[in-house]
Each structure stands twice: as C-alpha cells, then as structure tokens.
C-alpha cells in the first residue's frame, strides 16, 4: 500500500514538474523562412508599394505588399569589415555566420579562417535545410550559407562544396562554372549527384523525382544551361519563379524535423546595378509573392513558424526623386515593356553600361527616379518579421545579429 502511494506521489510530482517546465519554456520556431532581397533597400521596397498602388488601383498611394504587412519592423546596418559599403559576399557572410569579413571574402574571416554558417548549426541540431536563389547557387548570398572561399568569384570551388553540405534542398539557377573556369574540371553536377542529390530540371521533373529523393537540387526547366531564373519582367508562362521554389521546398522539407530555408531574390540587385527602376521594382514584388507562400504556411502553423525578410545591402543609391521638383510618375514605367526593351544585359550589369543605358536614363528622367551609383550603397536595410521569436527583430540591429537571433528563436546554440 505504502509503495503504491509512493509511486502515485512520484507520478503526480513528475506530471506537475513536467507541465510547469513545459509552460515556462519559451516557444521555439520549428519552421523558419529567411528571405534576402539582394540590393533591396528601403527605397526599393517603398517603390514597389507605390508601383503596386498604381498598377492595381491606378491611384497615388502605397499598397502594402506581403512582408510590409508584418507586425515587426527593424533596420540593419550592412557595412563590412573592410569598408562601409559592403559587397554581397561580405554581407552574405554576415547574414549567414554572424561575423563581418572583408569585401570579396565568402564564409571566411578577414584572416582567411573558415566561419560556420548557421545553416550547418541548424542542420546539426536536426532540422532540414534548404537554400534557394533566383541567381546561380554558387553566387555570394546562397554560397555564404554552405561554402567557404577567400574569393567569391571562385565559382567552381564554391559549387563543389555543395556536395559536402548534406543539406536536403537546393533550388535556383544552377552554376556559373560547373566545370571550372577553363572547363577542364569534373562537372560539379556529377560530383553532387554522386553525393546522393537528385537533380530535377523544372517543376514537372521535381514532382516525378521528389518521391525517391533524400536530397534535391531543383533547377529550372532549361536545366544546367542557364545560370539564373528569368527576370519577372521577361517571364514566360512555364518559367520557374522564386515562389515555385518556396512551394517545392515546403513540399520537400516539411515534416517532424522542422526546417530552415534561406531564399534569395538575387536579381533586385542586378536591376539596381543597371539603375533600371521598373525591373528592380518587379523583382521586389516577385519576392513579395514568394514571401506570401511562406505567409500562407505560417497561417497554418502560427505557433511554430518564423519568417524574416531582409536585404544584404542597398544597390544603386536609389532615390524616389530626381533633381528638383515635387513629382514622380509611376505611370511612365510602361507595364508592357520587357527588360529587353529597357535594361542592360546581365553580363554588363556591374559596369552599368550597355546598349539600353540611354533608354534607362530617359525612363529615370521621365518617371523621376534618382540613382547615385551603379554599385552598392552604405544605406541601412529593412528587416521584417512575423511569427515565433519575431519580436527579436524589432528596432536597430547589425546584420551580424540576424543569424544569432534566428538561432535563438529556434533554440539552436550559436
């Protein structure tokens, strides 16, 4: 009898202590979406809102887009270890590892020692991981989440490091130099395939191959021939977009383990390098569509999901004004034109030159967009958040704080 009473007492005590422990415990994010708009400063976001009001309602005003409706707004500094103006690889390193580095370095400290991306910490903690971009996956931002290189342009070495990451899902524009700069190396696609990645070209192939895949590399239908997804402004019906990648990644990664996914809208930056306002705006709206997919997921799992949307830096020194006067004309950004009519080619974006430069300059004058640079600026970038742990992202922070806050929200040791 006494033994029975004692075991009953122990059982009651363990229930009480377990439940009190459980209710004291802070909720942790099981599903995390980390969106990075490359080159997306405050002006790019606000311009997207103004353009949306013009396009949808034909009015002066601003329509909130998916992530500008989020309840938490913060602001992050973007400077690198070597200059106030960062490049994408130093900024990507800050956003992926929580450490500043020199411009041109990727996933390594200024003294060239390797830094660990939070994607690895989160993966080691048992979550599934996805990395996506609208540009090539060996580019600075996605590369910063799985690779280390003292040279961000060492695309081949970055690409082959994907094979060792063991992350479950990669999606986007493939590789720039899959066989190395001289084309004499083993194909990065073959190396990745040998490590157990199933490569799918396009959404149809993804649907047929995903069932038998432990790890997936999803490319657009053009497969290995193309390095980036088309600009939203040029997109054909069957072309893949960032929101397709998010939908696919959710399908592939959702489950008991939880997931962390980083998705980059990489071509806001390219358009802004060209000072092409309309293309930059449409890329920003495209990111908003992708965030909307994550938001719909959040609505189904509000107690387990965190969405963070930020940028690595601002590009172009974009201003919503041109010289003097009190007027801007969003209606001048002709919705019918494709980027082939009014943007420079992707290969000449860095120089801000090209056959169409004159057209872009004229359009900027007519719509009255100002640009101060064909490169990046030192402006702070916005941070938007919703969900579990989102309150951590309010107010001013440094870009190196963001990955630390994500780990903290997930209960992963940084």
Work out how close the CB of 38 gets to Zn ion at its nearest, in angstroms, rounded to a whole number: 7
Total site size for Zn ion, rule CB under 5 A: 1
**228 near Zn ion (CB under 5 A):** no
Q: Which is nearer to Zn ion, 128 or 267 (by Cβ)?
A: 267
Work out how close the CB of 349 gets to Zn ion at its nearest, in angstroms, rounded to a whole number: 8
Q: Which is nearer to Zn ion, 244 or 269 (by Cβ)?
A: 269
Residues 243-302, interacting with Zn ion (CB under 5 A):
269
Q: Which runs of consecutive H residues, i.e. helices, occur in 221-321?
A: 242-253, 267-273, 277-300
Q: Which is nearer to Zn ion, 280 or 406 (by Cβ)?
A: 280
3-state secondary structure of 250: helix
Q: How far is CA 287 from CA 277, 291, 309, 326, in A?
A: 15, 6, 10, 29
Half-sphere exposure of 159 (CA within 13 A, CB side): 29
Residue closest to Zn ion, measured at CB: 269
Which residues lie across from 171 on neighbouring strands? 132, 218
Work out how close the CB of 270 gets to Zn ion at its nearest, in angstroms, rounded to a whole number: 7
Work out how close the CB of 351 gets to Zn ion at its nearest, in angstroms, rounded to a whole number: 12
Work out how close the CB of 55 gets to Zn ion at its nearest, in angstroms, rounded to a whole number: 26
Work out how close the CB of 409 gets to Zn ion at its nearest, in angstroms, rounded to a whole number: 28
Residues 46-105, interacting with Zn ion (CB under 5 A):
none
In angstroms, what is the C-alpha Rg of the chain? 22
Can you spell out the DSSP letters for 350-391?
A: TTT-STTHHHHHHHHHHHT-B---SSEE---EEEEEEETTGG
Within 10 Å of residue 404's Cβ, how many Cβ atoms? 16
Work out how close the CB of 290 gets to Zn ion at its nearest, in angstroms, rounded to a whole number: 19
The answer to whether 91 and 398 are in contact (CB under 8 A) is no
Q: Which is nearer to Zn ion, 85 or 263 (by Cβ)?
A: 85
Residues sharing a CB contact under 8 Å with residue 327, sequence separation 6 or more, in sequence order = 368
In the chain, the N- to C-terminal Cα span, in Å, equals: 50
Q: Give the Cα separation of 262 and 92 in Å (integer).
A: 11
Mark residues 167-196: x for contact with Zn ion by CB under 5 A, - for none.
Answer: ------------------------------
Q: Which is nearer to Zn ion, 264 or 269 (by Cβ)?
A: 269
Q: Which is nearer to Zn ion, 128 or 313 (by Cβ)?
A: 313
Q: Which is nearer to Zn ion, 282 or 311 (by Cβ)?
A: 311
Residues 344-383, interacting with Zn ion (CB under 5 A):
none
Q: Which is nearer to Zn ion, 177 or 269 (by Cβ)?
A: 269
Q: Give the Cα separation of 112 and 193 in Å (integer).
A: 29
Q: Give the Cα separation of 229 and 182 in Å (integer).
A: 24
Find the farthest-apart pair of alpha carbons in the chain and give their distance in angstroms, rounded: 94
Four-CA torsion 43, 44, 47, 49, nearest 10 degrees: -110
Work out how close the CB of 269 gets to Zn ion at its nearest, in angstroms, rounded to a whole number: 4
Binding region for Zn ion (CB under 5 A) = 269
């Amino acid at each position: 009898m006494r033994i029975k009473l004692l075991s009953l007492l122990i059982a009651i005590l363990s229930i009480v202590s377990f439940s009190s422990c459980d209710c004291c415990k802070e909720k942790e994010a099981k599903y995390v979406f980390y969106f990075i708009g490359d080159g997306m400063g405050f002006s790019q976001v606000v311009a997207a809102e103004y353009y949306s009001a013009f396009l949808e309602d034909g009015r002066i005003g601003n329509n909130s887009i998916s992530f500008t409706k989020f309840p938490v707004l913060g602001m992050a500094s973007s400077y690198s270890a070597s200059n106030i103006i960062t490049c994408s690889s130093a900024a990507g390193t800050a956003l992926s590892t929580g450490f500043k580095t020199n411009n041109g370095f990727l996933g390594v400290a200024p003294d060239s020692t390797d830094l660990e991306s939070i994607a690895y910490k989160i993966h080691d903690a048992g979550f599934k991981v996805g990395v996506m971009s609208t540009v090539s996956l060996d580019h600075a931002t996605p590369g910063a989440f799985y690779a280390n290189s003292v040279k961000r342009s060492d695309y081949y070495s970055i690409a082959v490091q994907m094979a060792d990451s063991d992350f479950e899902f990669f999606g986007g524009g493939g590789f720039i130099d899959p066989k190395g700069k001289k084309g004499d190396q083993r194909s990065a696609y073959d190396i990745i395939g040998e490590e157990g990645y199933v490569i799918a070209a396009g959404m149809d192939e993804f649907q047929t191959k995903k069932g038998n895949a432990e790890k997936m590399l999803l490319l657009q239908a053009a497969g290995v021939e193309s390095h980036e997804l088309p600009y939203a402004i040029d997109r054909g019906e069957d072309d893949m977009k960032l929101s397709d990648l998010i939908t696919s990644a959710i399908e592939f990664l959702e489950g008991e383990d939880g997931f962390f996914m980083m998705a980059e809208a990489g071509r806001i930056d390219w358009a802004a390098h060209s000072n092409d306002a309309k293309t930059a705006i449409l890329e920003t709206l495209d990111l908003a569509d992708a965030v909307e997919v994550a938001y719909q997921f959040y609505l189904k799992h509000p107690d387990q999901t965190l969405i963070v949307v930020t940028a690595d830096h601002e590009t172009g020194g974009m201003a919503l004004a041109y010289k003097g006067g009190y007027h801007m004309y969003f209606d001048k950004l002709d919705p019918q034109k494709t980027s082939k009519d009014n943007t420079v080619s992707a290969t000449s974006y860095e120089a801000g030159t090209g056959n169409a430069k004159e057209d872009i300059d004229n359009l900027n004058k007519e719509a009255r967009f100002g640009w101060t640079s064909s490169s990046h600026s030192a402006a702070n970038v916005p941070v938007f958040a919703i969900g579990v742990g989102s309150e951590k992202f309010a107010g001013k922070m440094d870009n190196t704080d963001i990955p630390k806050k994500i780990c903290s929200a997930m209960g992963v040791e940084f």
